[in-house]
Structures are given as C-alpha cells and as structure tokens.
Structure 1
Amino acid sequence: MSTSLLILTDFTPAADQALHYAAALAAPLGASLILLHIRRESLLDRDAFTGHIQHLSEGEVAAALEERTRGLAVPVQVESTVDGVSAAVADAAQRHQPALLVLGKPDTETTPDELVSSTSLTILRATRTPLLIIPINSTATVPPRRITIAADNNGFSLKPQTEPIRDLLHTLKPTVTLVHVVEPEENDECPQAHQAVLDSGLLRELPSVHTHGVRCRQIPQGILQGVSETQADMLLLIARRRSFLGQLFNRSVTSQVVLHGHVPVVLLPALD
C-alpha cells in the first residue's frame, strides 16, 4: 500500500500551514496527501468559545479546497464531510490507513488550558494513529534534519500503526537525540530511558542515537528545554494511554508539551 498523509483542514491559517508542511514532508517520502475538510468543532480554536465560527456552503468549501491544493507538488485527494471530528477522522483513517494524521494548532497561549478542548485527544481516542501537530508559529525545517525523542525510564510497546514512523526515520536519516528529564543523581547518558526506546523497536536500523539529559523540576518544561537545546526540528513523544484516555488530559505531560511547544510534535500512541 502506498504511503499517505491525512491532513485535517478547517481553512484557518494553522490548517493551511499544516498542509504546506505535510506537502514538504511527503515529497521525500514519496507519499500522497488526503486533505479532509471537517466542520469546525474544537480544532484548538478560540473561535469555538466566541461563536465566531464561519459556516460555508458546499460550493464555498469546494472552492476553498481547490484553492489550497492548486500547485502542490505531490498528489493530493480532497474529501469533505459534515460528520463530527471523531467519526470523520476514524472513517478516513480506516479507509486510507495513513502513515500520519496531520493537524495545525493555532496559538492557544492566551487560552486557559482548562478551556482547550483538544482535537489531539479526540483523534488519538478515535484512531490510535500517529498524530503530527504543527504549531502556527513553528519555523522548523521540513523535512526535519534533527529529531528529538522524549523518553522516560519506563518501558513501552508501540501500536502496529506506528510502523510508518520507523520508515520515516529510515528514509529521512535525521540526527536523532533522545531527551530525558533526569534526576540529580542520574547519568546524562540516560541508559535506562535509552534502553526503553531501543526495546520498543522504534530506532530499529538507525545507525546511532545521541542522548541528552535535562535537569528540570517540571517534566513538560524539561522536555521543551531539551527540544531547544538539541535544536530539534521535530519532537517524537510517546503518548501513553493515561495521557489521552484519562479525564485529566489537559494536565498530562503530553498535553502540556502539545499546548506550549513551538516545533512539530508527533504523538506515538503506546499500547501501555
């Protein structure tokens, strides 16, 4: 089966940036794009709280899709649905089996975390497929040359849907650094966290992986500090079940990194 990337769009600037990022990423991967228009419900959009969401006619939607796909250098298929986020994404993911779901994230820094109804939570629940989130203010290089993986000392197993991420790493051959927020007595080489990632099979066939320990009181801030210190173009974050199935998603490490990070983040759903 050929590789594809599924991009969600609500025609906002954040969604447009995600589309252009996906097109640039798809080219070296030999992948095609599926651009899915989904009615705006919660796409981390402040307009959802103000009632300013614009509802478009079918003709306006078709014109907007044509405008955004015109001139793209990779094959693209467009779809539109009136279903909600969960149903629409689950259906598209089942039909296309994409390597990645791609979502643009607008600036939510001025929106209290407790008010953010995160589409990333909804999508992970619905599909358990790797999710690439592109912040609106990101200036990261694409395709990424430096990828950072955040890991703790706990082992994990990845779902079969994450296999294309191994292919992505093998094809792009970026510099890969494992970042771990360490305790004061720990070694900066992070041997236990490194072994946990190796045991997962995520780094299979990669020639070498660097390690980088970060000392920080708060794990989310430590991860973001590590992203900055390693000059990462992309962050890979293991999304454990408690992060995206629990009721306290907005307080989890995963959500805090997604909400406050400034580089593209790939959420890899773990089995445990």
Structure 2
Amino acid sequence: MKKILVPTDFSPNAEKALNYAVQIAKRTRGEINIVHGVETQKIPEATQEAELKMQALKKSIMEAEQLTVHTKIYADSSVNSITTAIHEYKPDLIVMGTLGSSGVKELIYGSRTGVIIGRSPVPVLAVPLLSEWTEPKKILVAVNDFTIKEKMTNPVFQLANLYNAAVQVAVFTDTDDDYVEDFDEHKKKITVFGNKLKEQFPNTEIFAVHLAGKHFRETLQNWLNENKVDMLVMLTHRRNLIGSIFNSSMTKKMSYHTNIPLLAIPINED
C-alpha cells in the first residue's frame, strides 16, 4: 500500500479519512495523493479557494510526518474526478470518508464513497465520521465465496502484518432459510477456508467464524460490537450477482451503517 489516493471536499468526513491515510502511509512509507473536484460552473473562484486549502493540507502533512504528498484539482464532478484520478495514479488503496450510522447518507460526501465502492477496481477504505484512528488489532473479513484467489485477500493480510492484527473470516447463514444443508455446509466450508488461509499466511493469527441470524447486517453489527472488531472487510463483486449478499450494493449499504472502517475489496469475474 505504497500509493494512497484520498479524495477530499474539505469536510470533517474527508479530514477523518485523510488522517487514516496518513497513519497507514507512515507505516508503509507510502505517498499520498489528495484530489478534489470542482464543478466547471464554479470556476475560477472555487478553484482558487480549493488550491489554497490543498496546499495547506500538503504543507501540514509534509512538515509533520515527512511524507510525500501530491495534490490535484479536477474541473469535474467529485465522482468523475475520483474515477479519473484512479486511472491516472493507479493507487493501491483509496481512503474516503463516510457518515456511517450517524446521519443521512444522501446529504454528505459519504454517498459518493458508496458510488466509488461500486466502481473502483482497487480497494476502498470507507472511514466513518465517528470513527477514531486506532491501530487495527482485530480485522473481520466477511465472505460468501470460498473459491477466491489469494491475491484478493492480499490487502487484508498486508494490513494485518503492518499492525500485527488477528484476522477473523466469517460466513453468514440466514436462520429463516429452510435448508438445513446450507447451515451445515457453511459451517464446514468456513472451517476449510480458514485453514487454507492459515497455510497461505502462517504468520497471521486467523480464526474462522460462522455467523447465523435472521438479518445479515444486524447479525454482523452485533458481532462487530461484541468482539470489538477494529475493521470490517468485504470482498465484493463489482457485477450485481443475483442472490449474493456481498455484492457492491450490500457493501455500499454497510459503509453507511457501520461505525468502524470498512475495507471494500473488488472481485472481478472475468
């Protein structure tokens, strides 16, 4: 995670995300690319104001943390600017703010985070406004695909290695489902999957978790709270797979409802 892209609108949400990006970059000695989009009808006044704010952010980070920081302003919408920046910078990670469960998602920058989660070809770390930076010591990975390739989980274990974190891999079973076979099959598969990851990443403490309940988000949130999980990871399908609870749409919803950072890792079905 050497190249980190941080979109900003200079809001408290974006400031919180930038702090997370700085903390990760300090550990990886990576570079930070801060980008901002200005609607064309608001130029040039908005551009001049944004440029002053961007330079202030850059100076503050470089002086305090001795990190490499780049900034760029695009004459486009926020979402289009971020999409362009992804192709230009080819980042390893995107860090964005989201309001989490503390407010109405449609009114804030966090709604754009959901759009980017659905479009991005690289991992997106969604940071809730109420979340305070802490080194992640417990990371939970929600999966429903037990055939994913090792490279898809690499970002998870890169973070785990950086902070000596334990990783929980979890699958969800709907208890309202009449098929008892699904429950038994999930329990068996998550154990096998966990053991496979232990072989691939022997230096990381890994636990297999079988979550069961009537509602996925409620069951997952209860587990996160009870076990003091520091980061949630969802391996998401960018295409809308019918019947998949871990597609980009579900991940976007989780980014609006969790109070801990959510790392969305895209899985491409080629």
TM-score normalised according to structure 2 size: 0.77
Q: Which runs of 5+ in 2 are unaligned?
A: none
Q: C-alpha displacement at 1:194, in angstroms?
A: 4.5
Give 1:34-183 correspondences, 5 Å limit. Answer: 34-39=33-38, 57-72=46-61, 73=65, 74-106=67-99, 109-111=102-104, 118-141=111-134, 143-152=135-144, 154-157=145-148, 163-182=154-173
After superposition, the C-alpha distances for 1:113-136 in whole angstroms (9 at most, x for unaligned) are 8x9993234324443110000000
Which structure has the larger Rg over C-alpha atoms? 2
Name the one with the larger helix percent. 2
Query: What one-letter code is carried by the residue in structure 1 that aligns with 2:263?
Result: V
1:230 is matched with 227
Is it true that 1:264 corresponds to 2:268 in the alignment?
Answer: no
Distance (whole Å) between structure 2 residues aligned to residue 105 and residue 271 of structure 1: 24
In 2, Cα distance between equivalents of 1:57 and 1:244: 40
- Say if 1:108 and 1:177 are closer, same or farther in 2 by CA, change over 3 A: closer
Structure 2 letter corresponding to 1:20? N
Q: In structure 2, give the amino acid aligned to 1:92.
A: A
Q: 1:242 to 1:197 in 2, by over 3 A?
A: farther
Range 257-266 or range 30-39, more displaced? 30-39
Residues 206-245 of structure 1 mapped to structure 2, 5 A cutoff: 206-243=203-240
Superimposed CA distance per residue, residues 138-193 of structure 1 (whole angstroms, 9 cap, x where no aligned partner): 1351x3122111123x3343696874444333333311112333456647x94413
How many residues are paired up?
253
CA distance in 1, matches of 2:27, 2:154: 18
Please give the alpha-carbon distance, in whole angstroms, between the structure 2 residues aligned to 1:159 and 1:56: 48
Q: How does 1:176-215 map to 2 (within 5 A)?
A: 176-182=167-173, 186=183, 190-196=187-193, 204-215=201-212
Structure 1 spans left out of the alignment, 5+ residues: 41-52
Counterparts of 1:121 and 1:205, CA distance in 2:
33
CA gap of 1:124–1:259, structure 2 versus 1, over 3 A, is: closer
Identical residues among aligned pairs (%): 19
Contact 2:255 2:262 in 1 (8 A): yes
TM (norm. structure 1) is 0.76
CA drift at 1:205: 4.6
Superposed CA RMSD in Å reads 3.8
1:104 is displaced (CA, Å) by 0.4
Distance 2:101 2:225 in 1: 20
Bigger shift: 253-262 or 207-216? 207-216
How far off its partner does 1:78 sit? Answer: 1.0
**Cα distance in 2 for residues equivalent to 1:161 and 1:148:** 15
Within 2, Cα distance between the matches of 1:106 and 1:202?
A: 37
SS where residue 222 of structure 2 aligns? Answer: helix
CA distance in 2 between counterparts of 1:34 and 1:5 reads: 6
Change (3 A) 1:120 1:244: farther
Show the counterpart of 2:9: 10
Q: Is the 8 A contact 2:174 2:215 kept in 1?
A: no
CA drift of 1:229 comes to 2.2
2:122 partner amino acid: T
Name the CA distance, whole Å, in 2 between partners of 1:163 and 1:77: 26
The secondary structure found in structure 2 opposite 1:139 is coil
Distance 1:95 1:252, change over 3 A: closer
Q: Distance in 1 between matches of 2:30 and 2:239?
A: 32
1: CA distance, partners of 2:254 / 2:166: 21
Q: Per the alignment, do residues 215 and 17 of structure 1 end up closer, same or farther by CA in structure 2, a change over 3 Å counting?
A: same
Residues in 2 aligned to 1:150 and 1:116: alpha-carbon distance in whole angstroms: 25
Distance 2:86 2:78 in 1: 12
Q: Distance in 2 between matches of 1:249 and 1:95?
A: 28
